[in-house]
Amino acid sequence: MKIALVGATGLVGSVMRKVLEERGFCNCEFIPAASERSVGKEVSFAGRSCKVVSVADAIAARPDFAIFSAGSSASLLYAPQFAEVGTTVIDNSSAWRGYEHIPLVVPEINIDAVSPADRIIANPNCSTIQMVLALAPLHWKYKIHRLVISTYQSVTGTGMKAVTQLNAERAGQPCEKVYPYVIDLNVLPHGGSFEANGYTSEEMKLVNETRKILSDNKIMITATVVRVPVFGGHSEAVNVEFENEYDLAEVRRLLEEMPGIIVQDTPEANLYPMPRFAKDRDEVFVGRLRRDESQPKTLNMWIVADNLRKGAATNAIQIMQKLIEKRGL
């Protein structure tokens, strides 16, 4: 099997290489691709050094799958070219998520949205993935009416330059700024770019992607995205109003039975999800489950996951694994 990784030298690309190794793809024909400035560099994969090639060369190799982590402009340009030679593209950028005919997939929820003819598949935003994985079983049972979301997102979601900025600030060293303000010992209510409605692009992704994955455009959603100076992952406080009454014990059971979820909800023992312990894990951790006492049929929950793994690399590779099974490859 041939697998191309477009954006192989980036932060998410490095995690994707690691996850591919962990999930048994060490013997595949691995084709790392990146921008022209990275062509000729070497990256490690499965104990060997692999030379980075141009995206054009990767297309010419006609891989079975191409996993993209190279930004929206590269995805819009090159994904159709891979698709034309029969490659299945799994794209981690926001380029294709909003297109009605492009499946937006979290495999535990909606892998059946992918048809045999689909050659471009969108990987959702990292914050969306972890949240909908926890919400899906509750929506199926009780039907969600409204969501109020506040996120506390790791600097790793912005990329390597953001990690470098935070480390440099903590060391008191000068550095290139990717945020408009200092991030260390600070929080920024600013993720993505501001749009005409006053919300950011990251906030609107939570609205639009959640509705698409859960196949319900009637869910009312409002979100605030905050960047925080941590490395381990993204955290979310989610207020969920259901159309039907729920039972808290049943909520816990539904979450415990959902693949990919670990419930950590023993407050008397100070057990609750934190990014410090989600780092390098593929699971989504859920806790602080409690009734909203200010209105009926409403639940408060706290959701944490490593945004580079389940929020990006792991989800993309899980999609590929499911398609390999479905297509008998």
**Distance (Å, rounded) from C-alpha 146 to C-alpha 230?**
29
Q: Which 8-state DSSP code applies to residue 123?
A: P
| H helical segments located in 23-157 | 55-60, 72-84, 107-110, 126-142
Mean pLDDT of 74-92: 98
Q: What is the DSSP string of 184-251?
A: TT--BS--S-B-TTS-BHHHHHHHHHHHHHTT-TT-EEEEEEEE-S-SS-EEEEEEEEESS---HHHH
Note the pLDDT of residue 232. 86
Note the pLDDT of residue 21. 97
The per-residue pLDDT for range 21-33, each reduced to its tens digit, is: 999 999 999 999 9
Residue 327, pLDDT above cutoff 90 = no
**Distance (Å, rounded) from C-alpha 203 to C-alpha 227?**
12
State percent of the chain over pLDDT 90. Answer: 98
Residues that are catalytic: 126, 234
Domains and CATH numbers, the chain: 2-124+312-327 (3.40.50.720), 127-307 (3.30.360.10)
Query: Do 301 and 238 form a contact (C-beta atoms < 8 A)?
Result: yes
Unique residue bearing structure tokens 């929020």: 311
Query: Do 300 and 6 form a contact (C-beta atoms < 8 A)?
Result: no
- Exposed e or buried b for every residue in 101-130, given b needs 16+ CB within 10 A? ebbbbbbbbbbebbeeebbbbbbbbbbbbb
Residue 117, pLDDT above cutoff 80 = yes
Mean pLDDT of 271-298: 98
Query: Do 317 and 16 form a contact (C-beta atoms < 8 A)?
Result: yes
pLDDT, mean over the chain: 97
Residue 178, pLDDT above cutoff 80 = yes
Note the pLDDT of residue 174. 93
Residue 324, pLDDT above cutoff 80 = yes
pTM beyond 0.85: yes
Burial class (CB in 10 A: 0-12, 13-18, 19+), 40: exposed
Query: Which residues on neighbouring strands pair with residue 234, listed in sequence order?
Result: 305
Mean pLDDT of 162-175: 96
Note the pLDDT of residue 233. 95
**Distance (Å, rounded) from C-alpha 276 to C-alpha 233?**
8
State percent of the chain over pLDDT 70. Answer: 100
